[in-house]
Structure 1
Amino acid sequence: MDIRSLQVFLSVADTLNFSRSAGQLHLSVSAVSRSIQRLEELLGHRLLARDKRTVQLTPAGRDFRDYARRAVADWDRTRRQLGAGEELVGEVSLYCSVTATYSILAPILEAFRSRHPGVDIQLHTGDPADAVDNVLSGQHDLAVTGRPTSLPRRVSYLQLLESPMLVCMPAADCAVRRLAVSGDSAAPEFDWSRLPFIFPERGTTRDMLEQWFEEQGIQPNMYAQVAGHEAVVAMVGLGLGVGIAPELVVRTSGLAGRVSAMPVWRPLPALGIGLCAPRASLEDPRVKAFWDVAASTFAPAV
């Protein structure tokens, strides 16, 4: 029984979904399933009751979850103690979107490497909507994400910057653009329900968009749901619909010339972007060092 197997089990115990845990852990569904089966064979007990639709912890699974949490916490504490010398060594696992690697992480990493050359950064990219789940499952120490609508108590959040949210339409002449410019989108009576919308699958900006429509009493015409802001911008640039994205993503996506911002009567709120980490992880000197470097890198000028 190794720590990795315990982390896989804890992820599935948290999500109760093999596919979702596989995505968080960057493993195949079959690899996650095999890891759980090996644990069950080793223990001689079923840990998860699963059928075609649901996954539930068995009584043995609930007991083992408590053990696994203690074991992983003890392992992390031992790693911290062994690495508590004058010079920090080891690694920090970080999760973020592709856009964040260029626009946010670059200056942080440059400063961090100069101060702590003995610490390696293990970088993983994906949908920022998965950021909080990924750090809570223990897969990563830190993640860059938009500020969640509801922040779990076990998670600390450090805001680094804000980005205005844009409603984007295709820049090239196409049916969607002609529909978008056929009226005054900045007027309160503009009929947004005529436009095909590209929705984020989930996450903070999905909540933001749904609230924006609800406050205006608009029934949206949902054309598609995609994972990640970059995918929203790409689909809008292809002329498939309109959508929302942080201005930061539009500017750094390489597709800024293929989309245009639409003026709106009621602007969406700006998106806070920052670091999140389990509160317990900040006891690790390496994680805390990265957190502090990020805070000083994006500290407001005085």
Structure 2
Amino acid sequence: MDIQTLRLFTHLAKGLHFGRTSRACNISPSALTRTIQRLEAELGEQLFFRDNRSVSLTQAGEYFRAYAEDVLQRREQLQLQFASNRELKGSVSLYCSVTAAYSVLPDIFQRFRRGYPQVHLKLQTGDAAAALPRLQNRETDIVIAALPEKLPGRIIFLELTETPLVFIAPTDYPGTVCHSTNSEQEIDWLQTPFIMPDTGLSRRRVDQWFAEKKITPHIYAEVAGNEAIIAMVSLGCGIGVVPLLVLDKSPVRKQIKILACSPPLVPFSIAVCTIDKKIRSPQVQAFWNIATSIENAYKKGPTPHMKNGVSKN
């Protein structure tokens, strides 16, 4: 067996999903299946129970998982010792939303590239709601994410900025927002179409806001991604909720207005996050040091600052 086989096994052992592991590790599902079968043949033990619906570890799989993780950890420590004696090389993977890629990251990336030109940065963008799950599944080293009220266990975070979560409506379609007969300022939520986030922290906070006001909104669509919500609102499909940081960077910002809804939604705290074991990687540690020291334009408060923290839930 080789290091790549151990990495494939440990990723699959954590996520228990062949499709996610094949996508995250850039290997076809059939090649992943053959790799696991060869590993099982080499060990003479079945490592996974699998059928058409689920995947789980056998007892032998649990034993081998502990062995594989120990080998990979020892290899990381050895690489760290080697790295201390030479120019830092290798790679670091990062996942974030498109907005974070061009609003939060540029200064950090620029300084990192100057300081560590031999380290390859692997950036993937997508729905912000997928950031923390991807980190937990070991599909990436670092993510930029909005911090939930309770973080998953063993996640280390570095808070960068805070952004309000705002209700938005189109400027070019005034009939989108229906008002209550009792007040021209009060929204009639039964008549006004609402573009609902389909998952993630935005969805939880919107659901909580409506529940506390005992309102059942008229949902026009459930959409993944803040950029998609903004686009649909700008076209008059309904009103929605997005972080102000995303709205301010949108190319259709002038076609959107912010609604005064009370009480305000709980704002987002945007942070760089990693797993506590990942911080031992010299590449991740180098990125972390840059993020800690940089004077980013989006740090919150009158005095720019960042906050360190770790979740042990």
The 8 Å contact of residues 166 and 259 in structure 2, kept in 1 or not, is answered as yes
What is the deviation of 1:156? 0.3
The 8 Å contact of residues 170 and 260 in structure 1, kept in 2 or not, is answered as yes
What is the deviation of 1:227? 2.3
What is the deviation of 1:126? 1.7
- Alignment counterpart, residue 42 of structure 1, candidates 36, 39, 43: 39
Q: Distance in 2 between matches of 1:82 and 1:185?
A: 68
Q: Secondary structure at the match of 2:179?
A: coil
Question: Structure 2 length normalisation: TM-score?
Answer: 0.83
Which residue type is aligned with residue 249 of structure 1?
A: V
Which residue type is aligned with residue 100 of structure 1?
A: A
Instruction: State the superposition RMSD in angstroms.
Output: 2.5
What is the deviation of 1:243? 1.6
Q: Secondary structure at the match of 1:265?
A: coil
- Greater Cα offset, 208-217 or 77-86: 77-86
Q: Secondary structure at the match of 1:194?
A: coil
Q: Unaligned regions of 5+ residues in structure 1, if any?
A: none
Q: Distance in 2 between matches of 1:19 and 1:149?
A: 30
Matched, 1:80 2:80: yes
The 8 Å contact of residues 5 and 36 in structure 1, kept in 2 or not, is answered as no
What is the deviation of 1:139? 2.5
* Gap change, CA 1:7 and 1:206, over 3 Å in 2: farther
What is the deviation of 1:186? 5.6
Q: How does 1:91-106 map to 2 (within 5 A)?
A: 91-106=91-106
Match of 2:272 in 1: 275
The 8 Å contact of residues 170 and 257 in structure 2, kept in 1 or not, is answered as yes
Match of 2:138 in 1: 138
Q: Which has the higher helix share?
A: 1
What is the deviation of 1:143? 0.8
Which residue type is aligned with residue 250 of structure 1?
A: L
Match of 1:153 in 2: 153
Q: What is the percentage of aligned positions where both structures have the same residue?
A: 35
Q: Secondary structure at the match of 1:162?
A: strand
The 8 Å contact of residues 185 and 263 in structure 1, kept in 2 or not, is answered as no
Q: Distance in 2 between matches of 1:185 and 1:58?
A: 63
Match of 1:182 in 2: 179
What is the deviation of 1:101? 0.9
Which residue type is aligned with residue 154 of structure 1?
A: R
Match of 2:115 in 1: 115
Q: Secondary structure at the match of 2:240?
A: strand
Match of 1:229 in 2: 226
Match of 1:293 in 2: 290
The 8 Å contact of residues 159 and 273 in structure 1, kept in 2 or not, is answered as yes
Q: Distance in 2 between matches of 1:119 and 1:210?
A: 42
Q: Distance in 1 between matches of 2:40 and 2:7?
A: 16
Q: Unaligned regions of 5+ residues in structure 2, if any?
A: 306-313
The 8 Å contact of residues 13 and 65 in structure 1, kept in 2 or not, is answered as yes
Q: Distance in 2 between matches of 1:64 and 1:97?
A: 35
Which residue type is aligned with residue 140 of structure 1?
A: T
Which residue type is aligned with residue 256 of structure 2?
A: V
Per-residue CA deviations over 1:70-90 (Å, capped at 9, x if unaligned) read 233223222222212364332
Q: Secondary structure at the match of 1:124?
A: strand
Aligned length: 294
* Gap change, CA 1:50 and 1:193, over 3 Å in 2: farther
Match of 2:192 in 1: 195
Q: Distance in 2 between matches of 1:293 and 1:125?
A: 21
